[in-house]
Structure 1
Amino acid sequence: MALLWLDVSAGVAGDMMLAALLDLGVELEPVQAAVDAVLPGAVRLGTEEVGRAGLRARRLRVETLEASAPRRTWADLRRALATAALPEPARDRALRAFERLARAEAVVHGCPVEKVHFHEVGAADSVADVVGVCAALDTLTVERVVAGRLALGSGRLHGEHGDLPVPAPAVLELVRGRPVFAGGEGELATPTGAALLAALTEPGELPDMVIDRVGIGAGTRDVPGRANVVRAVLGTTSASSVSVEDELVIECNVDDLDPRVWPTVLDDLLTAGAKDAWLVPILMKKGRPGHTLTVLCAASAAGALRQRIFALTTTIGVRETRATKRALPRAVITVTVAEVEVRLKVAHDGGRVLNAMPEFDDVVSLAQSRRLPVATVLGEAHAAAAAAGIVTGATWPPSPVP
């Protein structure tokens, strides 16, 4: 399995992460194309080799072409990403990163997430960093991204709202549940970098792997005695690649909520960062019918999800337990059904396909456009997967078509 490990022991910023991926061998052209798709004509990207405390590194240069910087909101960026001509995995990653950032800013400023203004993070160069990283990861086709212990920094910084402590309040919200340390003076982790880590990576030290390539991305400052860099290590794991993750289970029992509301509650929690959410019918005290709501999430997302549960349901308390999740590696590919691309979720291990399932939303959309039963289109999608050789027991990854 292809795996990327990020060394963020000197801190992280969006430009450092993108520079490390470009130094790893990602071509600049598709990254620039992705940024142009979201912000047409706004920035021009380039790189240069620099030294950081004696280490060679690559620095990202972002030339802003906007005459004046507009104040972009989360809603503005969401619309731009939704309509941009981006590969779907890159779009999904960018949406997750900006949503995590918006929710963190909403907590910090005490306002609804839809009213969050991104200030410095909404500037063209920061948007380019996020979109560029997501596009770069798409070209690498890695199946896991792991990031080590993060240096946050210390002291004070000056932002749009004035003098602020380091780590910045939004950064602290974004890194909940991750191993961190101070690591030095100044702002070492920016909100953009922290949002990318929170949305796209799992925490962990360097995994057992066969290293293929290493990329080094430089920060703006050259700090004496400390290499201000992010390192990206690309490699492969052993044949059995089941991931082991520490998760949090949040539960509550509810017997006084209109049952028609539950589907919207589950959808909201999944949008807010839950890895899974479900209901179990139960019989409560005095013979009352009720439900147990269960949410599975990363520890870093627990605070926001806990708040959503209290806001969306009538519960007055939740219980939380740690859980170990063992998950098969998975990939998303597309097959063609009636000249339309349908995503296929593939679970695999040890070089073999274990399960392949069409994305149900894609199937429903295609069935509606063709005015056919969903079951008919679902069968066609399974047939298309079989024709492409993506069936249980088949070799993974599949051989390229000559």
Structure 2
Amino acid sequence: MSRHAWIDASAGVAGDMLLGALLDAGARLSVVQEAVDAVAGGAVRISEREVRRGGLRAWKADVSALDDQPPARTWREIRTLVTGTAHAVFERLAEAEARVHGVDVAEVHFHEVGALDAIADVVGCCAALEDLGITSVSAGPVAVGSGSVRTRHGVLPVPAPAVTELAKGWQVLAGGDGELATPTGMALLRTWAGVCEPLPPLTLDLVGVGAGGRDPAGRANVVRVLIGTRSSPIASSLAEPAMLLEANIDDLDPRLWPGVLAGLLDLGASDAWLVPILMKKGRPAHTLSVLCPPTLADPLTDRIFRDTSTLGVRRSPRDKTALDRAFVPVKVGTGQITVKIGHRDGVLVQVMPEFEDVAALARSQGRPERVVLQEAVTAARETGLVVGAPMVSVWAGRAER
């Protein structure tokens, strides 16, 4: 059964806070420590304890590097140490730091982020997520803080530049004084979470509360993770109302149909297609069908009258259940092809390379479309885009940053 996690970052987010929340929800410390040891070679120890933050009980993950002066590492060095989702988190961090500091991504020095304790935060969180059997993640708006913070680069404004880079496309709020969101916490959230949304409908199973290091007055410095299952397979992709527009047409020049269909889709139709039919007196004709949201029925009807020779358009209400969709670019040789995926209840259901991308790449390279299509399917599979894969792994592999 798929399991969904929703992250409440309304008081901020950091790597150790997420780790504490996942341990509080039931992730096993032994599993987390084993994963960290596999990367850090026993140079880091993780412990857990109960604390109070703003009057609330919370779980604190303490990450201790046994090396008093862990070295600053470049992304070139770190990427040889981590794999899977943890690799995706650090790659996202490296790209954000490279953009804000104007350096090559491979040579980004993480300083605090590259220290052993921060590597343990990322690897430990990813191991805890997997240990809890979480297949999909979403999160609410993130409190990023205000003021300034002292770093290896000197005093920087809050939110820190890397946090703002990582937060692009996400809802944020100040939420209080000081640094409330760290680059590590933001990178974990953005790598895991596919969408920023309020708490979705869940049958709630587990709740974890992770504590930050400070206990400021007037605010509980915690991250909450709410974990549960969809109440039914339909709950995550409810049927939505739609309208079907139809017209039988026997006197339109067939060379016009491609433009008619393209115009309807450009105007917002969900789908538009033709079905060959025989009308009275044996005349060959087509049924034009257009599926659309009810709010677009009127403008699409006007377009049908404008672009075809029909004298009437039929309407009938429909219910439509659609998979949630996303588009993931994958590398195919020296080119790139977008793969359209459909998912439901946190699990990948459909995977299909966009044929227009396939055709364009084939033309540019002078190669057969069928060969490029097969290479795109193979590249998608190697990226982890396979039917049945959890969406957590898909978001981790997304090239969109």
Structure 1 and Structure 2 fold alike (TM over 0.5):
yes
SS at match of 2:112: helix
One-letter amino acid of the structure 1 residue matched with residue 118 of structure 2: S
Question: Once the 2 structures are TM-superposed, how far is the Cα of residue 268 of structure 1 from its aligned partner?
Answer: 12
Q: Cα–Cα, structure 1 residues 265 and 280, in superposed 2: closer, same or farther, change >3 Å?
A: closer
Aligned residue-pair number: 271
Alignment partners' CA distance in 1, 2:220 and 2:364 = 56
Alignment partners' CA distance in 2, 1:348 and 1:95 = 18
Q: Deviations over 1:243-302 (max 9, x none)?
A: 97686899xxxxxxxxxx9732318999xxxx97772546xxxxxx769xxxxxxxxxxx
1:264 to 2:334 alignment: yes
Pick from 180, 187, 192 the counterpart of residue 172 of structure 2: 180
Identity of aligned residues (%): 50
Q: Which residue of 1 aligns with 2:9?
A: 8
Pick from 219, 228, 231 the counterpart of residue 226 of structure 1: 219
Q: Cα–Cα, structure 1 residues 43 and 346, in superposed 2: closer, same or farther, change >3 Å?
A: same
Runs of 5+ in structure 1 lacking a partner?
82-90, 251-260, 283-288, 292-331, 333-342, 350-402
Q: Which residue of 1 aligns with 2:153?
A: 161
1:136 to 2:214 alignment: no
After TM superposition, the structure 1 = structure 2 runs for residues 94-109 of structure 1, keeping only pairs within 5 Å, are 94-109=86-101
1:279 to 2:364 alignment: no
Greater Cα radius of gyration, structure 1 or 2? 2
After TM superposition, the structure 1 = structure 2 runs for residues 8-27 of structure 1, keeping only pairs within 5 Å, are 8-27=9-28
One-letter amino acid of the structure 2 residue matched with residue 134 of structure 1: C
Q: Cα–Cα, structure 1 residues 49 and 71, in superposed 2: closer, same or farther, change >3 Å?
A: same
Alignment partners' CA distance in 2, 1:177 and 1:211 = 28
After TM superposition, the structure 1 = structure 2 runs for residues 294-373 of structure 1, keeping only pairs within 5 Å, are 345-347=386-388
SS at match of 1:119: coil
Q: Which moved more, 1:230-239 or 1:11-20?
A: 230-239
1:37 to 2:38 alignment: yes
Q: Deviations over 1:322-346 (max 9, x none)?
A: xxxxxxxxxx9xxxxxxxxxx9944
Is the 2:65–2:117 Cα contact (8 Å) retained in structure 1? yes
Alignment partners' CA distance in 2, 1:158 and 1:123 = 17
One-letter amino acid of the structure 1 residue matched with residue 88 of structure 2: R
Alignment partners' CA distance in 1, 2:218 and 2:353 = 44
Alignment partners' CA distance in 1, 2:79 and 2:338 = 16
Pick from 172, 184, 198 the counterpart of residue 205 of structure 1: 198
Q: Cα–Cα, structure 1 residues 347 and 17, in superposed 2: closer, same or farther, change >3 Å?
A: same
Is the 2:337–2:357 Cα contact (8 Å) retained in structure 1? no
Q: Which residue of 1 aligns with 2:280?
A: none
One-letter amino acid of the structure 2 residue matched with residue 21 of structure 1: L
One-letter amino acid of the structure 1 residue matched with residue 357 of structure 2: L
Alignment partners' CA distance in 1, 2:353 and 2:12 = 30
Alignment partners' CA distance in 2, 1:158 and 1:79 = 29
Q: Which residue of 1 aligns with 2:282?
A: none
> What RMSD in Å do the two structures reach over aligned CA positions?
3.1
Question: Once the 2 structures are TM-superposed, how far is the Cα of residue 71 of structure 1 from its aligned partner?
Answer: 1.5
Q: Cα–Cα, structure 1 residues 100 and 244, in superposed 2: closer, same or farther, change >3 Å?
A: farther
Question: Once the 2 structures are TM-superposed, how far is the Cα of residue 129 of structure 1 from its aligned partner?
Answer: 0.3
Alignment partners' CA distance in 1, 2:103 and 2:389 = 42
One-letter amino acid of the structure 2 residue matched with residue 347 of structure 1: G
Q: Which residue of 2 aligns with 1:194?
A: 186
Alignment partners' CA distance in 2, 1:157 and 1:211 = 37
Q: Which residue of 1 aligns with 2:289?
A: none
Alignment partners' CA distance in 2, 1:70 and 1:196 = 22
Is the 2:19–2:61 Cα contact (8 Å) retained in structure 1? yes
Alignment partners' CA distance in 2, 1:209 and 1:268 = 31
User: Normalising by the residue count of structure 1, what TM-score does the alignment of the two structures yield?
Assistant: 0.62
Alignment partners' CA distance in 1, 2:339 and 2:147 = 35
